[in-house]
Structure 1
Amino acid sequence: QDGFLVFTEGLILSSYPVELSLPAAAVSAGREKDFELQGYGFEAAAEQLRTPHVVRVGLIQNKIPLPTDSPVAEQVAALHKRIEEIVEVAAICGVNVVCFQEAWTMPFAFCTREKLPWTEFAESAEEGQTTKFCQKLAKKHNMVVVSPILERDDVHGGTLWNTAVVISNSGSVLGKSRKNHIPRVGDFNESTYYMEGNRGHPVFQTQFGRIAVNICFGRHHPLNWLMYSINGAEIIFNPSATIGELSESMWPIEARNAAIANHCFTCAINRVGTEHYMNAFTSGDGRKAHHDLGYFYGSSYVAAPDGSRTPGLSRTQDGLLVAEMDLNLCRQVSDKWNFKMTGRYEMYAEELAKAVQPDFTPNIIRE
């Protein structure tokens, strides 16, 4: 799925990493709890002065367990229960860092423009029930947890943000990253609820490596990936909620290209299922009023800086993808291709500074 074969001097080399042998208990639990489990490993060359820097990440994709018109508290509780089941298996597999899908504690209701009940899912990034739930998971399993939620920022007038909370394996809140790019396309009416993030491109130093979170629509913006990389990210997570009709053709390409361009690992996560809403809504695509966004197609995967990638998870089923990676590969690929060394960032910065001015004149040479 979504792979290709490279032809080199008559040899056919697979673009996929090696398949991991996962514990039998994990495989059995995945079957029992009805979610797909896959595991792959990326290797790096042995070095004389550096030992391997191996980390295991877990990507979780899932449907919402309850209908969208169920009571808010029951929906949140059901999602907490489902994620806890899958995280338990991630722990058996030795996962060090786990990331959930965008706005994982709720339906992706940002198509509707309705305020209630959807804004009731918003929580404090520091003190909310979901963060407390994730802190317990992190401490129990010695695992960094990346938890994308709808944040209510009571310090700033109850403002809503699309936010990823990063929780250390110690159980403490390490920090948060907010969605920088908000779609205004088709059914995605997200600016009704929150606007572009204001925290820039933070990178989080964890015990297992430097991570960043490029939330959903940011994957369409190459400079967004670049800035996380410039700030030192070795692994960039891309928790998303995106539908087949809109973006499936781009999905296998974007995170993979970003891994290559930025000499880092990228982790693309997408939810699965179709979510129906009681009240019909319209959008910018000219269709008649309808009751759902379409299908979320899953297909979560991990890409490496050398261009290799895992197969994607199922398009229809809940799943856990375990990826073992040697972060030494980031510098090894960088030393080979030198994109950072050969990048003309000073030139770009100078020209971009001019381009954003109201009186900008494009540099077009005419006869």
Structure 2
Amino acid sequence: MKIALAQMKMDTDIEKNFQKSLQLIREAAEKKADLICFPEIQLSPFFPQFPDCDVSEYAMTEDSSYVKGIRNACRENHIFASPNFYIEEKGHRYDMSLLIDDQGEIIGRQKMVHVAQCKMFYEQSYYTPSEEGFMVFDTRLGKIGIVVCFDRHYPESIRTEALRGAELIIVPTANTKSEPSELFRWEVKVQAFQNSVNVAMCNRIGREGNMEFSGESIVVGFDGETIALADNQEELILAEVNLGGAAIRRNERPYTSLRRTDLYE
């Protein structure tokens, strides 16, 4: 399958980010991509860098015109998409990725599980942690999981989804230039190799407040090899990914099936 990563620069205006998202969906479809992935909270600036702000304007429900607009674009352009929004649900707000099929139907929802609280990432001030844990969605394209940003730093996240059959794991993120970019690349490469799973990590770019986002979105194969790597410019990254090969590799090199879970804490 062909995957597209929308490495975007965000505006403070939701509508501008939304229109850019729609354009990227159209562009990805024109380039024959099957699935397009977006960065973390793609319709807003990265407000969690501030410890206490009123961000009600960025919170939306699944019934919002923005979510419906992305769904309509998927249907009109015959493409799957995984957008990430600041979603309000039952009185709580979440950092949530959706998986939308090429008919515009929401076929998956993944909330952030581990929520950070440290300098520049005051996420517990805004996000409720997931109550459901990690999910894998069986789609026409293959079995797809999503690990939201900070969750990828916990090996249990990608491991859990791989054990549940994921062939591709999408990681929407907000990595900055002040963080160890090379280490972050190796982090997903090693986890892809150890779990025999494809990983696609999509980042934002540009300066927002006191943060400068690094881009460098990456697609890694189930063998840990880099398939595509972006620079720090706004761009649409395209890559061919072999989803079915992940299950074959797990049988050939049974790293996960040989685990001695009786000996682990």
The answer, yes or no, to whether TM exceeds 0.5 is yes
Secondary structure of 2:256's match? helix
Contact map agreement 1:165 1:176 (CA 8 A) in 2: yes
Q: What is the 5 A alignment of 1:87-236?
A: 87-116=25-54, 118-124=55-61, 126-153=62-89, 156=90, 158-236=91-169
**Alpha-carbon distance between aligned partners in 2 of 1:231 and 1:300, rounded to the nearest angstrom:** 25
Give 2:259's aligned residue.
Answer: 343
How far off is 1:206 after superposition? 1.4
Distance 1:191 1:247, change over 3 A: farther
Deviates more, 1:245-254 or 1:77-86: 245-254
How far off is 1:347 after superposition? 3.7
**Alpha-carbon distance between aligned partners in 2 of 1:311 and 1:96, rounded to the nearest angstrom:** 16
Deviations 1:143-168 (A, max 9, x none): 11111100111xx2x21111011112
Give 1:241's aligned residue.
Answer: 174
Deviations 1:109-167 (A, max 9, x none): 11112332x2221111x3122210111111112211111100111xx2x2111101111
Give 1:119's aligned amino acid: S
Give 1:306's aligned residue.
Answer: 223
How far off is 1:246 after superposition? 2.3
Secondary structure of 2:120's match? coil
Paired residues, number: 265
TM-score, normalised to structure 2, is 0.95
Give 1:224's aligned amino acid: S
Give 2:53's aligned amino acid: K
Give 1:306's aligned amino acid: D
**Alpha-carbon distance between aligned partners in 2 of 1:347 and 1:198, rounded to the nearest angstrom:** 28
**Alpha-carbon distance between aligned partners in 1 of 2:202 and 2:262, rounded to the nearest angstrom:** 33
**Alpha-carbon distance between aligned partners in 1 of 2:168 and 2:8, rounded to the nearest angstrom:** 22
Give 1:325's aligned amino acid: V
Deviates more, 1:99-108 or 1:240-249: 240-249
**Alpha-carbon distance between aligned partners in 2 of 1:141 and 1:323, rounded to the nearest angstrom:** 19
Larger Cα-atom Rg:
1
How far off is 1:195 after superposition? 3.0
Deviations 1:290-330 (A, max 9, x none): xx12x100000100111211242121x11111111222321
Give 2:153's aligned amino acid: H
Contact map agreement 1:61 1:269 (CA 8 A) in 2: yes
**Alpha-carbon distance between aligned partners in 1 of 2:127 and 2:150, rounded to the nearest angstrom:** 13
Contact map agreement 1:144 1:206 (CA 8 A) in 2: no
**Alpha-carbon distance between aligned partners in 1 of 2:31 and 2:59, rounded to the nearest angstrom:** 31
- Structure 2: gaps of 5 or more residues: none
Give 1:297's aligned residue.
Answer: 214
Secondary structure of 1:326's match? coil
Give 1:312's aligned amino acid: L
Secondary structure of 2:93's match? strand
Give 2:242's aligned residue.
Answer: 326
% identical aligned pairs = 23
Contact map agreement 2:148 2:172 (CA 8 A) in 1: yes
**Alpha-carbon distance between aligned partners in 2 of 1:254 and 1:274, rounded to the nearest angstrom:** 24
Contact map agreement 1:63 1:271 (CA 8 A) in 2: yes
Give 1:115's aligned amino acid: C
Contact map agreement 2:40 2:85 (CA 8 A) in 1: yes
Aligned with residue 5 of structure 2, among 37, 46, 59? 59
RMSD value over aligned CA atoms?
1.4
**Alpha-carbon distance between aligned partners in 2 of 1:228 and 1:311, rounded to the nearest angstrom:** 22
Give 2:58's aligned amino acid: F
Give 2:56's aligned amino acid: T
How far off is 1:249 after superposition? 3.4
Deviates more, 1:94-103 or 1:321-330: 321-330
- Structure 1: gaps of 5 or more residues: 1-54, 69-74, 277-291, 352-367
Contact map agreement 1:113 1:193 (CA 8 A) in 2: no
Deviations 1:25-47 (A, max 9, x none): xxxxxxxxxxxxxxxxxxxxxxx
How far off is 1:346 after superposition? 4.1
How far off is 1:253 after superposition? 0.7
**Alpha-carbon distance between aligned partners in 2 of 1:236 and 1:210, rounded to the nearest angstrom:** 9
